[in-house]
Structure 1
Amino acid sequence: MSRPPCHLSPALGALPHGFFGRRGGVSGGIYDSLNCGFGSRDERQAVDENRARVAGAVGAGTLVSLHQIHSTRVATVETPWQPGQGPEADGMVTRARGIALGVLSADCAPILFADAEAGVIGAAHAGWKGAIGGVAEATVAAMIDLGAKPSRIAAAVGPCIGPASYEVGPEFEARFVEQDGPAARRFFHVPDAGTRAHFDLPAYVADRLARAGIGTVDVLGLDTAADEGQFFSYRRATHRGEADYGREVAAIMLD
């Protein structure tokens, strides 16, 4: 079986993991080629094969993912569920070995977590709604329930829409200022006079993780909207008027 390429985080050390992009799969058309999203209109057989390739790349017998709803819900994984039958949630944690936790994204920020000493891992999907709502903190809390300690947890923020690509309106910025106070304005910048503000999602997610007491936070700094060759992007697809879009996956496992 072909092994798709992925990006790794040094913060997660030797734990099997990867931030996979769009390359190395079997899907065609707008889903070319490693589309791992059951929620897309891609052929199910192709998605199954793509997910099997990701599972194989991290050495997992199975890859579980969620029905993501931009929430702060977190599921504790004890045994794998059937493909496409994951609970409605945007975070997962486990102490179980051999099960790869996978979160899907196409501009939202995937976050992988590990407390290697405690043998606890997690994964979260953080769009702006989940990030401002506290999905990262909720995932950390669920890891603590399994024996992790914040100071030992390493977290990696994977490929997502970058500040150069994330133009937003004033009402969007106002939500963050209302939530976090005037300090939230540092995550917004206006690149040129007369233009709209741009939001730095990965920096905001990293800041929330730091405030949660996480020991190590790594931001890969890869912009999904700007790099069509490597990544799927909801925003890019929407601007082009495309009917659908592929989803990349980030996965982590305890071996």
Structure 2
Amino acid sequence: MTTPILRAAHGFTSRAGGVSVGAYAGLNLDDRHDDPAAVFENRRRLTAELGFGPDQVSRLEQVHGTDVVQASPGQVQRADAQVTDQSGVLLAVATADCYPVLLEDPGAGRLEDGVPEDGVSGAGVLGAAHAGWRGTAGNIVGQTVRAMVRLGARPERIRAAVGPGICAAQYPVGGEVMSAFEQAGLGQFVQGGHLDLRAANLHLLLMAGLRPEHLRASGRCSTESQFYSYRRDAGVTGRMWAVIGTPLQARQGQGQDQGGVRRTQA
């Protein structure tokens, strides 16, 4: 799934378009429990569709924290968000109920006519964040915006898309979570014992200086059958990826006829 608010190559995956079977049936992108060969093919299909190779993906070992790192192709870093101002790297975050957030300042490092400034890749500044309840309470999206600013982005230019995640109606929470959100000044997003993570992250993006017209949320719930959901499936499930990057060159001939993944608009 894509959104017109982002100009860089990007996508939020669902289960559609993959070769995994059983509990992981579809486009599972997590190889910790699934057949590694199936996951490799799923990743190949996704990255090829966007004009990248699997070795250009920068991945994270996500720990539900607030650390943000510089993206590094072919590496797996311990953090919950990453940023880059370089072409040829595809930022990825994995989710199965938590919210993925993709960010882009397409004007960073560019002149008004779109020509890159000297010494700058012209890729803009990109970010990808994994926002579960702990990360949201710790303002992971705000931390990501600040990391992008250090690379030359400006909050008022940054565009952000929030992908599918668990909706408030399907997300009852207990006292620990309620207390964490109260202490973070986000208590208004816990109503009737249910947490609205999507609304909380949109609020935090606005507080970080993004403009309302530069925000987009998919409105899809990860507990729907088209997605992987840790809570719905009692922990035995796959993972979706949210990805964003600027290819080194335009993709050639990649598409569904070569085993690609189907594109829809989020």
**TM-score range, shorter-chain basis?**
0.7 to 0.9
1:221 paired residue number = 219
2:133 partner letter: W
Q: 2:194 aligns with which of 186, 191, 198?
A: 198
C-alpha root-mean-square deviation of aligned residues, in Å? 1.3
Q: CA deviation at 1:33?
A: 1.1
Q: 1:99 aligns with which of 89, 106, 128?
A: 89
1:121-200 paired onto structure 2 within 5 Å: 121-180=126-185, 184-190=186-192, 197-200=193-196
Q: 2:104 aligns with which of 88, 108, 114?
A: 114
Q: CA deviation at 1:174?
A: 2.1
Asked if 1:67 is matched to 2:61, the reply is: yes
Q: 1-side partners of 2:188 and 2:101: how far apart? A: 21
Q: Is the 8 A contact 1:187 1:200 kept in 2?
A: yes
Structure 1, 120-129 or 135-144: larger mean CA deviation: 135-144
Q: CA deviation at 1:170?
A: 3.6
Q: Deviations over 1:108-146 (max 9, x none)?
A: 000000000111101010101111112111111111111
1:58 partner letter: L
Q: 2-side partners of 1:111 and 1:138: how far apart? A: 12
Q: 2-side partners of 1:8 and 1:65: how far apart? A: 20
How many residues align structurally? 228
Aligned residue for 2:101, secondary structure, equals strand
> Structure 1 length normalisation: TM-score?
0.86
Q: Deviations over 1:138-172 (max 9, x none)?
A: 11111111110011000111000001110112442
Q: CA deviation at 1:224?
A: 0.3
Aligned residue for 1:30, secondary structure, equals helix
1:43 paired residue number = 35
1:212 paired residue number = 208
Q: 2-side partners of 1:63 and 1:54: how far apart? A: 11
Q: CA deviation at 1:10?
A: 2.2
Q: Deviations over 1:46-94 (max 9, x none)?
A: 11111111111211233221111111111112x512xxx4010111111
Asked if 1:32 is matched to 2:28, the reply is: no
Structure 2 unpaired stretches of 5+ = 109-123, 248-266
Q: 2-side partners of 1:116 and 1:246: how far apart? A: 32
> Structure 2 length normalisation: TM-score?
0.82
Q: Deviations over 1:188-239 (max 9, x none)?
A: 222xxxxxx11111000111111011132211111001x11x100000111x
Q: 1-side partners of 2:69 and 2:46: how far apart? A: 21
Runs of 4+ in 1 over 4 A off after TM superposition: none
Aligned residue for 2:198, secondary structure, equals helix
Matched-pair identity in %:
42
